A = this chain, B = another copy of it.
């Protein structure tokens, strides 16, 4: 299908080093590890690009949890492949943010996987979803 970039938001990128323990019996990166690479990229970009690291959310009594994820596996990733994860905010609604992602093989610029993840902002006090504050939306609207 193809995940379309939303021109209103920036796309940020994080390089990932494939580790031997990410490789499964099929001799390529195990499919669940793609979600771990996405999580790594979001942590990195929250700090490096949005300047609001996860620790800052936790200090304010918030946390982000995955609410749903869709992923298309397009090309296998092998040990030694150079890859990067690009993510981009797609939209906000209430407690939720939808984030598009692309896992790229940087040597060829081909897409290994793409999809989106919806995250909910929750209160760490009671685990309940919390409307994303306007101040956060502004910091993430770059």
Binding site for B on A (CB under 8 A): 17, 19-21, 23-27, 30-33, 35-36, 39-40, 43, 55, 63, 65-73, 76, 79-80, 115, 127
Q: At the interface, is chain A mostly helix, strand, loop or mixed?
A: mixed
Q: How far, in whole Å, are A92 and B55 apart by their CA atoms in the complex?
A: 38
**Residues in B whose Cβ lies below 8 Å from that of A24:** 20-21, 23-25
Q: Which 6 A-B pairs have the closest CB atoms?
A: A32-B35, A21-B36, A32-B32, A23-B25, A19-B40, A68-B72
Task: Find the B residue at minimum CB distance from A33.
Answer: B32
Contact A20/B36 with A66-B73, A72-B67, A73-B66 known, Cβ cut-off 8 Å: yes
